[in-house]
Amino acid sequence: MKSDDQQEIIIKSLNQISTIDLASLPTPLDEARRLADKIGLSKLFIKRDDLTGLAGGGNKARKLEYDFAEIIKGGYDVVITAGGIQSNHARMTAAAARKLGLDVKLVLGGADFDIPKGNLLLDVLFNAEIRYLVDDDANSSLEKEMQKWADELLNDGRKPFVIPIGGSTALGALGYVKAMQELAAQIESNNVQIIVGVGSCGTFAGTILGAKIFMPEAKVIGVSVSRTVDAIKNRTIELIRECSDLINYKINAEDCSIECYDDYHFEYGIITETGRQAVELAANLEGILLDPIYTGKVMAGLIDLAAKKVI
């Protein structure tokens, strides 16, 4: 089959999967000339997914467009999700639930607050009911607590829908397959390197798959904010396999090149010195706000990989 024909078939499959409007798309692609000069790159563009618009924006809006379509279609009345105490995913899920008139429950790894700040303040503003796992905030414990809460709600006659940590399901990852279709239309050549942050792996998996389909010459490079390279590779391959099945795209996920680096974080949520400097640099040279937990670390990785001529 000719690759244009194959792309048409994939686009058709992709468009058949329901979404619900939550994000302002397309997000802009901004050239960052001053930052590129400073770190020794000939060209640097930033895909402004901080401007997706849902309650302050961020990458999760694209994934949630798929999850909430399922939630509305299935007639669920309460959404449960989990994350770190300052989770972007939790904040955006809470906002999406409220926008669609649904109840929302969050399981957060960390201590209850005296004065809520940052995303936690927004979770409270969205009137999410929150359970805090203070002593045991491992992902498996968060998942277990979500399931327990869902069972309690079922017993009370409610219809709960659980969105896994980070919204990183195969369905959610489709949001980033579509984002690559969007990016391909914004960029002259697809012979580029795409640097993306990696937490729960859905964004990375969707970006790799989407690039394979819509920007075949592009190379995707992940920068971890929490997991090891091995853990990322395993989960990303799993998600690529499941996600490609959803759109009937035949690839051998094991053959996908998964290039990622885990040198730019210390422990999830801990601010690093290089991450802090990267946040300052982007603010001072481009007027762009990065955050210290995700995008600051990704920028720190980008700066170092540029210095090492990997990029």
Ligand X SMILES: Cc1ncc(COP(=O)(O)O)c(C=O)c1O
Which residues are known catalytic residues?
Answer: 87
Write the CA distances from 280 to 42, 109, 291, integer angstroms: 21, 28, 10
**122-151 positions binding ligand X, by CB under 6 A:** none
List, in sequence order, every residue forming a beta bridge with 80; answer none if it has no partner: 105, 162
> Of these, 294, 297, 303, 306, which contacts ligand X (CB under 6 A)?
294
- As measured in angstroms, the least distance from the Cβ of 189 to ligand X is 25
Distance CA 199, CA 306 (A): 22
* Residue 189: partners with Cβ closer than 8 Å, 6 or more residues away: 217
Stretch that binds ligand X, among 7-15, 193-201, 208-216, 281-289 (CB under 6 A): 193-201
Q: Least distance from C-beta 179 to ligand X, angstroms?
A: 11
Residue 176: both structure tokens together:
């980033």
Q: Which stretch binds ligand X (CB under 6 A): 155-163, 195-203, 263-271, 273-281?
A: 195-203
How many other C-beta atoms can be found within 10 angstroms of the C-beta atom of residue 175?
28
Token look-up 């069972």 returns 151
Residues 131 and 49 sit within 8 Å (Cβ to Cβ): no
Question: Least distance in Å: CB of 64 to ligand X?
Answer: 11
81, 203, 207, 272: residue in contact with ligand X (rule CB under 6 A): 203
> In this chain, which stretch among 23-31, 74-82, 194-202, 238-246 interacts with ligand X, using CB under 6 A?
194-202
Q: Which of 216, 41, 227 is nearest to 203 (CA)?
A: 227
Residues 205-264 that bind ligand X (CB under 6 A): none
Stretch that binds ligand X, among 100-108, 111-119, 134-142, 199-207 (CB under 6 A): 199-207
Residue with smaller CB distance to ligand X, 92 or 281 = 92
Q: Which residue has the tokens 């989770």?
A: 87
* Backbone φ, ψ for residue 276 (5° rounding): -65, -45
Under rule CB under 6 A, residue 88 binds ligand X:
yes
Q: 154 or 289: whose CB is closer to ligand X?
A: 289
Give the shortest CB-114-to-ligand X separation in angstroms: 25
Q: Among 212, 214, 213, 233, which Cα is nearest to 222's?
A: 233
CA–CA distances in Å: residue 76 to residues 61, 65, 158:
19, 15, 8
Rounded Cα distance between 78 and 102, Å, is: 6
Residue number, 244 or 295, with CB nearest to ligand X: 295
Give the range of 1-9, 178-186, 197-205, 279-287 binding ligand X by CB under 6 A. 197-205
Q: According to CB under 6 A, which one of 200, 244, 272, 274 is a site residue for ligand X? A: 200
> Which residues of the chain form beta strands (DSSP E)?
29-31, 45-47, 78-84, 103-109, 129-133, 160-163, 193-198, 219-224, 259-261
Interface with ligand X in residues 155-174 (CB under 6 A): 166, 168
Binding-site member from 202, 275, 296, 301 for ligand X (CB under 6 A): 202
242: burial class by Cβ within 10 Å (0-12, 13-18, 19+)? middle
Residues that bind ligand X (CB under 6 A): 58-59, 88-89, 166, 168, 197-204, 294-295
